[in-house]
Amino acid sequence: MKTADQAIHDVLWKMLSPMVDGKIYESRPMNDVGYPFSDFEDFETNYTGTKSRAISKVTANLNVWDTEKNRKNVSNICGSLLDDAMAMHEAYGFKISLRIGESDIWIIQDRTVSPPVWRGIVTLVFDIL
């Protein structure tokens, strides 16, 4: 059986993979992999105790990368991922709900490389119900 964060990870992987032509990685690749691509930044799980059980909240941070000329593509992929996450209600048997007010998209230009590239940082916060 998967943990809640692993279940969410695996569903997000399946959603995001076709958006970046299968170029999705657990961590930032050190080789030239071509654009666009995506990588998982980190996951955080917080727990709140109730009288009957512990309720968990899972935060997933992902990156979407593309060339300097393709900012719109980064924006489109990030927006599509957020839309798909809002429609998620289940992940491998876990009932989940996106906390839209705590989720966000941040698009920045990474100037540490030449030529610069666009990076979309997507934060998705899920309640495990």
* Average pLDDT, rounded, for the chain: 95
Predicted confidence band at 52 (pLDDT cuts at 50, 70, 90)? confident
In the predicted structure, residue 48 carries a pLDDT above the cut 90 = no
For the domain with range 4-128, which CATH number is right: 1.10.443.10, 3.40.50.10140, 3.40.50.1100, 3.30.2000.30?
3.30.2000.30
In the predicted structure, residue 54 carries a pLDDT above the cut 90 = no
CA 114 to chain CA centroid, nearest Å: 25
**Amino acid residing at 8:** I
Percentage of residues in the chain having pLDDT higher than 90: 86
Extended beta strands in 14-103, E state: 24-25, 37-49, 54-67, 90-91, 94-98
Strand partners of residue 48: 55
Q: What is the structure's pLDDT at 69?
A: 96
* Continuous H helices in 56-123: 71-87
Domain boundaries, the chain: 4-128
Global confidence as pTM: 0.93
Q: What is the structure's pLDDT at 31?
A: 82
In the predicted structure, residue 14 carries a pLDDT above the cut 90 = yes
Tell me: the pLDDT tens digits for 66-123?
999 999 999 999 999 999 999 999 999 999 999 999 999 999 999 998 899 999 999 9
* C-alpha pair distances (Å), 15 with each of 23, 107, 108, 113: 12, 20, 22, 28
**Percent of the chain that is helix, strand, coil (3-state, to 5):** 30, 45, 30
Q: What is the structure's pLDDT at 121?
A: 98
* Cβ 12 vs Cβ 78: under 8 Å: no
* Cβ 18 vs Cβ 29: under 8 Å: no
Q: What is the structure's pLDDT at 80?
A: 98
Q: What is the structure's pLDDT at 53?
A: 78
Q: How many CB atoms lie within 10 A of CB 6?
A: 15
